[in-house]
């Protein structure tokens, strides 16, 4: 795989929130679309509920930008429906998610310096 | 609900749908299973709907943008073809929209009146307002078909301004005129029911435009006094904007029964309009009107018929009457333009797609790589839509130009009927046209995709399509196009010939080197003091003294100006009655200035003055109509009845065509202007060289005589002729342009089809040459086959041309039916052009390497 260029990573930032969440969820392993949606729903306490159009729209964008790719492997054919598609994160995707997290950390630090944040929100 | 969701998914753009419709459906199934109870499921459905509404437009925009970019790349590679296609479409869409804006104004947009469909004009009604108020009101009261009737007469009069005066169109009406039309004044009041009683009628309603221009939109105009030809009237109201019926009227007065109140020397003409009773249809009313006419003239002589001028009583719908002769002409033009649009669409489809196998291969390769038919369809339809949209935008410029051209050639009779593109109907029409053409040439080629065998097309160029539905369709299209083009070409030749003939018509006078200016004394001191004769002489003296002026004269009615002339039936001293002739007063030097040939006798001299022996000069056709040989020295009775007023015929001149080259017009009787002074006259001056620069000099010379007398409508005689010919010129240009355009399209289309045939049959040609056929014979075979459909179409076109000829008479009065020679000429032009196109297309056979051709498969 080609070496991932820093500029290419920076050019993708900032990430839309749903995409960031999806990258985080995929970093733990391959998932199909619906599982992704459920996972994000769980992680955000039901606040980010992606509709099918928004979900697959984001997936299409992420594939175009090389952040994720479709996976050929199927975990277990008995359990699965052939209509499902599985996705996995690419190296670029991982780098971009990291860079986004760094960007956010810097932002939070800046906020802390300016405002002084309480221990829990 | 799941079915509904599946249907919703179909609305996503093709590529997205192919990629994700299945997992999305699956996901919906899962969620649906998990949701329990109808409440949850309804909520799920609602969320799905919102999700769709939020994401589908974005996805569609994204894909369309990709398609557009891809299309742009494809078309940039064939920029000449694309530019041609765009230009063809833009011209076709633009011309069609432009003509439609005219039709829309004339036929579709309703008149600015209340219930305009029930308004009628009674042409030559047996009884009109001239019969007097009581009689007219009694007549309308007992009419079985009219709820109400109103009368009017209209003239151009002098409106006195603080400095000098202006010519304005004034309609003298019955008091109910505006109210019957349903026109409420913008402010102030309309005429009261009894304000047309002489003595109470010194009031006027002024038009919105006049109010703005002359009175600066000042509301204090109400109650102020205006002077028309010297008669004082009180302004009581201002008409709403856009109301200028009849004939662009600027001032209405209720003086219909009191025509002497505003002094005028012009002829007047009682016109009657009415509103049909509710429940009485046009046909029924027309029948009742005709019956009334029959009763009225029972046992009496009808008014004389005039040649080329319908004097028969007739009931018209006001709507048709205002659209006038322009209506059928515009319909004919619309039909022709629509045909050309059709040809253009078919051709553009051809030009862009079927011509190039290159594109088929591209599509085939994409199909082999997994693009679905729906995806390719979407690509083609997007390309087509973008092209048509671009063409439509360019077309708007063409449409604007067409509408302006039409407006100058056949101006609308009402301000409310100005041709405009800024009307929702026109805009809708243009949009519809763009969509329709986009579909026609987007979907037609796209349907090819459905016949495409993916996989096969990649390696083989499609042989064996000949004789298939597409091949036959193409043949029919070519034939149809050839037929339409030949018919149009024949029509345009015939129009062109008629127009040239029109231009070459001997008018009886020469229009070059002549400046003309109108003058009206009405309401000025020159009139009230009876100083017209003095004025004529002063003005002529000044004109003749002006540098460059060779001769000058004054005349009461100049050819090409007025449509209304005083006239009548005159008897010779021996008692024979001639045809209806018009009477014109002219000064000495008139015939010399106009270049009218004096055939016999003499022209007027300074001695033919008031009090001297009455003399006349008659036109040659009047002399001929008596059939008595030379009439010089004989006497003509100028009285319309009562005691005879004999005048000696001192000269005979070449007949002047008063209304221009299209109509023969009436026979003429000229009187010396000193013996028959006129309140509004035209001065004519023959100058050396171009008369244009002399117009100002001549105007100043005449204006100096009396600043109070308005000098207006200063033009060269050539300009007046051009104005008269504007309509036939517009139609002729339009038809010639359409025919040329159609011919171009036909040639391009035939060329495209022939090229297509050659590339398609490369292999077959290779085989033929390999087994010994000569290049020439193969080429001849292709040539014959290509020309077959053209020939068949041309035959049909020649037959169609005969039919078209009749329609052309709506456009140009003297158009003749298309003759055999014209058809042959058109067919010849068409055959030569297409033959050349096909021959060029088959050229590539000559360059073909037979072995290479064999390897194509």
Band (B641; pLDDT cuts 50, 70, 90) = low
Between B23, B31, B48, which is nearest A85 by CB? B23
Does the pLDDT of residue B282 top 80, yes or no? yes
Q: Between chains, do B54 and A32 touch, taking CB under 8 Å as contact?
A: no
Residues 6+ apart with CB under 8 A from B364: B452, B454, B457, B458
Q: Between chains, do A32 and B23 touch, taking CB under 8 Å as contact?
A: yes
In A, minimum Cα distance to B46 occurs at A51
pTM value surpassing 0.90: no
In a domain, A53, yes or no: yes
pLDDT of the residue at B22: 80
Hey, which residues 19-58 in chain A have their CB within 8 Å of chain B? Answer: 32-34, 37, 49, 51-57
As a whole number of angstroms, the distance between CA B34 and CA B734 comes to 69
In B, minimum Cα distance to A50 occurs at B51
B48 neighbourhood in chain A, CB within 8 Å: 51-52
Q: Between chains, do B19 and A60 touch, taking CB under 8 Å as contact?
A: yes
Between A52, A60, A85, which is nearest B28 by CB? A52
Among B8, B9, B20, B27, the residue to mutate for chain A (most A Cβ within 10 A): B27
Does the pLDDT of residue B462 top 60, yes or no? no
In A, minimum Cα distance to B8 occurs at A53
**B279: alpha, beta or left, given left = phi > 0 and alpha = psi -120 to 50?**
left
Integer CA distances (angstroms), B194 to B175, B179, B232, B268, in order: 7, 13, 19, 23
pLDDT of the residue at A31: 83
Q: What is the CATH number of the domain that holds A26?
A: 1.10.10.10
Between B19, B23, B31, which is nearest A84 by CB? B23
Nearest-Cα distance to chain B for A100, in Å, is: 24
Between B25, B30, B59, which is nearest A57 by CB? B59
**pLDDT digits over B585-628, tens only?**
999 999 999 999 999 889 899 888 888 889 999 998 888 888 87
In a domain, A121, yes or no: no
pLDDT of the residue at B459: 42
Does the pLDDT of residue B457 top 60, yes or no? no
Contact B578, B622 (CB under 8 A): yes
Task: Find the range with the poorest average confidence among B472-476, B488-492, B606-610.
Answer: B472-476
Mean pLDDT of B629-634: 84
Most confident of B201-215, B345-359, B514-528, B556-570: B201-215
Mean pLDDT of B801-816: 71
In a domain, A120, yes or no: no
Integer CA distances (angstroms), B602 to B206, B336, B447, B615, B762, in order: 48, 52, 80, 11, 82
A96 touches chain B (CB under 8 A): no
- Range of A83's domain? 7-115
As a whole number of angstroms, the distance between CA B329 and CA B334 comes to 9
A32 neighbourhood in chain B, CB within 8 Å: 23
pLDDT of the residue at B444: 64
% of chain A residues with pLDDT over 70:
83
In A, minimum Cα distance to B48 occurs at A51
Band (B268; pLDDT cuts 50, 70, 90) = low
Nearest-Cα distance to chain A for B44, in Å, is: 10
Mean pLDDT of B454-481: 58
Q: Between chains, do B23 and A60 touch, taking CB under 8 Å as contact?
A: no
pLDDT of the residue at B658: 82
pLDDT of the residue at B553: 92
Q: Between chains, do B55 and A57 touch, taking CB under 8 Å as contact?
A: yes
Q: Between chains, do A60 and B20 touch, taking CB under 8 Å as contact?
A: yes
**pLDDT digits over B521-580, tens only?**
776 666 666 677 888 888 899 989 888 889 999 998 888 876 667 777 888 888 788 888
Mean pLDDT of B807-824: 73
DSSP state of B350: I
Mean pLDDT of B24-50: 83
The interface pTM score, or ipTM, of the predicted complex is 0.79
As a whole number of angstroms, the distance between CA B765 and CA B755 comes to 13
Structure-token pair, residue B87 = 């230009």
Q: Between chains, do A53 and B52 touch, taking CB under 8 Å as contact?
A: yes
DSSP states of B705-732? T-TTS-EEEEEEHHHHHHHHTHHHHHHH
Among A35, A52, A71, the residue to mutate for chain B (most B Cβ within 10 A): A52
pLDDT of the residue at B87: 82
Among A53, A62, A65, the residue to mutate for chain B (most B Cβ within 10 A): A53
Q: Which residues of B sit within 8 Å Cβ distance of A? A: 12, 16, 19-20, 22-28, 30-31, 47-48, 50-52, 54-56, 58-59
Does the pLDDT of residue B276 top 90, yes or no? no
Structure-token pair, residue B253 = 């007065």
Among A42, A51, A79, the residue to mutate for chain B (most B Cβ within 10 A): A51
B30 neighbourhood in chain A, CB within 8 Å: 34
Between B26, B31, B48, which is nearest A83 by CB? B26
Band (B353; pLDDT cuts 50, 70, 90) = low
Helix (H) or strand (E) holding B227: strand B225-228
* Overall number of domains in chain A: 1
Between B16, B27, B56, which is nearest A34 by CB? B27
A84 neighbourhood in chain B, CB within 8 Å: 23, 26
Q: How many residues would you count in chain B?
A: 857
Size of interface A-B (CB pairs under 8 A): 59
As a whole number of angstroms, the distance between CA B191 and CA B256 comes to 12
Band (B581; pLDDT cuts 50, 70, 90) = confident
Mean pLDDT of B502-515: 86
CA atoms in the 13 A half-sphere facing the CB of B44: 20
From first CA to last CA, the distance across chain A in angstroms is 42
Closest CA to B605 of B620, B590, B595: B590
**pLDDT digits over B421-441, tens only?**
777 888 888 888 877 777 766
Q: Between chains, do B30 and A52 touch, taking CB under 8 Å as contact?
A: no
pLDDT of the residue at A77: 55
Q: Between chains, do A51 and B59 touch, taking CB under 8 Å as contact?
A: no
Q: Between chains, do A56 and B22 touch, taking CB under 8 Å as contact?
A: no
Does the pLDDT of residue B420 top 80, yes or no? no
Does the pLDDT of residue B6 top 90, yes or no? no
* B145 burial type by CB count under 10 A (0-12 exposed, 13-18 middle, 19+ buried): buried
Closest CA to A22 of A81, A87, A115, A112: A87
Between B19, B51, B58, which is nearest A52 by CB? B51
As a whole number of angstroms, the distance between CA B309 and CA B582 comes to 14
Nearest-Cα distance to chain B for A18, in Å, is: 14
Nearest-Cα distance to chain B for A48, in Å, is: 13
Nearest-Cα distance to chain A for B34, in Å, is: 12
| Torsion of the alpha carbons at B54, B58, B59 and B64, rounded to the nearest 10 | 150
Band (B349; pLDDT cuts 50, 70, 90) = low
Nearest-Cα distance to chain A for B842, in Å, is: 47
pLDDT of the residue at B177: 85
Mean pLDDT of B733-737: 82
Instruction: Tokens 């515009």: give the residue.
Output: B330
Average pLDDT of the residues of chain B: 79
B31 neighbourhood in chain A, CB within 8 Å: 34
Q: Between chains, do A57 and B58 touch, taking CB under 8 Å as contact?
A: yes
pLDDT of the residue at B766: 80
% of chain B residues with pLDDT over 90:
4
Residues 6+ apart with CB under 8 A from A64: none
Integer CA distances (angstroms), B357 to A36, B57, B73, B361, B371, in order: 46, 34, 17, 6, 19
pLDDT of the residue at B554: 92
pLDDT of the residue at B257: 81
Structure-token pair, residue B279 = 């429940």
Q: Is the dihedral of CA B555, B560, B566, B571 positive or negative?
A: positive
B16 neighbourhood in chain A, CB within 8 Å: 56-57, 60
Report the relative pairing of strands B667-672 and B577-586 from DSSP bridges. Answer: parallel
Residues 6+ apart with CB under 8 A from B304: B311, B569, B580
CA atoms in the 13 A half-sphere facing the CB of B617: 29
Task: Find the range with the poorest average confidence among B8-17, B509-518, B805-814.
Answer: B805-814
pLDDT of the residue at B683: 92
Band (B465; pLDDT cuts 50, 70, 90) = very low
> ∠ CA B260-B263-B268 to the nearest 5 degrees?
70
């Amino acid at each position: 795989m080609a070496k991932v260029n820093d500029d290419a990573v920076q050019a993708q930032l900032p990430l839309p929130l749903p995409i960031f969440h999806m990258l985080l969820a995929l970093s733990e392993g391959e998932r199909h679309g619906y599982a992704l949606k459920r996972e994000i729903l769980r992680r955000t306490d039901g606040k980010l509920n992606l509709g099918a159009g928004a979900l697959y729209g984001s997936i299409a964008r992420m594939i175009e930008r090389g952040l994720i790719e479709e996976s050929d492997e199927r975990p277990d054919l008995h359990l699965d429906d052939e209509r499902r598609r599985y996705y996995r994160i690419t190296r670029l995707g991982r780098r971009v998610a990291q860079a986004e997290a760094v960007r956010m950390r810097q932002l939070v630090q800046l906020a802390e310096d300016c405002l002084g944040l309480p221990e829990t929100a | 609900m799941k079915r509904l969701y599946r249907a919703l998914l179909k609305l996503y753009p093709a590529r997205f749908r192919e990629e994700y419709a299945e997992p999305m459906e699956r996901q919906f199934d899962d969620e649906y299973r998990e949701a329990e109870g109808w409440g949850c499921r309804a909520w799920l459905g609602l969320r799905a709907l919102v999700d769709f509404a939020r994401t589908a437009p974005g996805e569609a925009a994204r894909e369309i943008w990709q398609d557009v970019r891809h299309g742009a790349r494809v078309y940039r590679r064939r920029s000449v073809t694309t530019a041609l296609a765009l230009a063809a479409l833009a011209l076709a869409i633009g011309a069609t929209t432009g003509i439609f804006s005219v039709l829309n104004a004339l036929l579709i947009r309703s008149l600015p009146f209340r219930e305009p469909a029930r308004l009628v004009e009674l042409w030559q009604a047996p009884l009109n307002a001239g019969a007097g108020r009581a009689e007219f009101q009694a007549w309308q009261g007992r009419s079985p078909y009219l709820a109400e009737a109103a009368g009017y007469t209209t003239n151009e009069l002098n409106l006195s301004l603080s400095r000098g005066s202006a010519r304005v169109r004034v309609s003298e009406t019955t008091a109910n005129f505006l109210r019957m039309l349903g026109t409420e004044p913008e402010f102030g009041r309309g005429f009261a029911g009894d304000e047309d009683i002489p003595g109470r009628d010194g009031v006027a309603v002024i038009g919105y435009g006049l109010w703005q221009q002359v009175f600066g939109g000042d509301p204090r105009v109400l109650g102020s006094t205006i002077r028309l030809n010297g008669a004082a009237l009180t302004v009581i109201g201002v008409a709403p904007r856009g109301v200028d019926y009849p004939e662009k009227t600027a001032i209405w007065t209720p003086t219909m029964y009191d025509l002497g109140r505003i002094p005028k020397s012009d002829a007047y003409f009682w016109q009657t309009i009415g509103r049909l009773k509710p429940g009485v249809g046009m046909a029924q009313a027309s029948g009742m009107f005709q019956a009334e006419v029959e009763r009225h003239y029972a046992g009496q002589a009808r008014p004389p018929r005039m040649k080329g001028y319908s004097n028969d009583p007739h009931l018209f719908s006001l709507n048709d009457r205002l659209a006038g002769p322009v209506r059928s002409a515009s319909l004919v033009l619309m039909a022709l333009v629509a045909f050309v649009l059709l040809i253009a669409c078919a051709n553009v489809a051809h030009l862009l797609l079927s011509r190039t196998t290159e594109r088929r291969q591209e599509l085939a390769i994409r199909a082999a790589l997994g693009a679905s038919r729906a995806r390719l369809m979407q690509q083609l339809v997007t390309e087509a839509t973008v092209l048509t949209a671009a063409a439509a935008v360019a077309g708007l410029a063409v449409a604007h130009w067409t509408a302006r051209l039409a407006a100058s050639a056949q101006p609308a009779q009402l301000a409310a009927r100005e041709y405009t593109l800024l009307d929702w109907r026109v805009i809708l029409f243009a949009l519809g046209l763009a969509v329709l053409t986009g579909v026609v040439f987007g979907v037609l080629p796209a349907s090819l995709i459905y016949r495409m065998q993916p996989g096969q097309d990649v390696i083989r160029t499609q042989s064996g399509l000949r004789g298939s539905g597409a091949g036959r369709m193409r043949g029919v299209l070519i034939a149809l196009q050839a037929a339409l083009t030949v018919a149009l070409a024949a029509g345009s030749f015939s129009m062109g010939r008629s127009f040239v003939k029109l231009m070459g018509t001997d008018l009886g006078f020469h229009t070059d080197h002549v400046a003309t200016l109108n003058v009206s004394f009405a309401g000025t001191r020159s009139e009230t003091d009876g100083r017209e004769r003095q004025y004529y002489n002063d003005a002529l003296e000044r004109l003749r003294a002006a540098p460059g002026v060779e001769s000058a004269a004054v005349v009461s009615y100049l050819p090409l100006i007025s449509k209304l002339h005083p006239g009548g039936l005159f008897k010779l001293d021996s008692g024979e009655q001639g045809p209806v002739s018009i009477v014109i007063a002219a000064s000495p030097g008139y015939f010399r200035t106009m270049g009218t040939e004096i055939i016999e006798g003499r022209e007027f001299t300074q001695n033919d003055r008031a009090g001297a022996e009455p003399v006349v000069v008659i036109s040659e056709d009047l002399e001929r109509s008596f059939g008595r040989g030379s009439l010089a020295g004989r006497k003509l009775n100028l009285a319309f009845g009562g005691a005879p007023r004999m005048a000696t015929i001192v000269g005979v001149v070449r007949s002047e065509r008063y209304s221009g080259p299209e109509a023969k017009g009436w026979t003429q009787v000229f009187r010396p202007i000193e013996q028959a002074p006129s309140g509004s006259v035209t001065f004519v001056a023959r100058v050396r060289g171009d008369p244009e620069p002399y117009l100002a000099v001549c105007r100043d010379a005449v204006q100096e005589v009396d600043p109070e007398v308005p000098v207006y409508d200063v033009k060269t005689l050539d300009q007046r002729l051009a104005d008269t010919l504007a309509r036939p010129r517009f139609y002729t240009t339009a038809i010639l342009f359409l025919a040329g355009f159609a011919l171009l399209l036909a040639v391009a289309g035939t060329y495209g089809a022939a090229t297509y045939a050659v590339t398609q049959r490369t292999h077959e040609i290779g085989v033929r040459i390999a087994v010994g056929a000569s290049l020439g014979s193969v080429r001849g075979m292709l040539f014959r086959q290509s020309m077959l459909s053209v020939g068949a179409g041309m035959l049909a076109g020649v037959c169609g041309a005969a039919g078209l000829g009749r329609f052309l008479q709506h456009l140009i009065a003297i158009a003749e039916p298309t003759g055999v020679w014209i058809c042959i000429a058109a067919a010849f032009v068409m055959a030569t052009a297409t033959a050349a196109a096909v021959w060029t297309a088959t050229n590539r056979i000559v360059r073909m390497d037979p072995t290479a051709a064999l390897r194509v498969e």
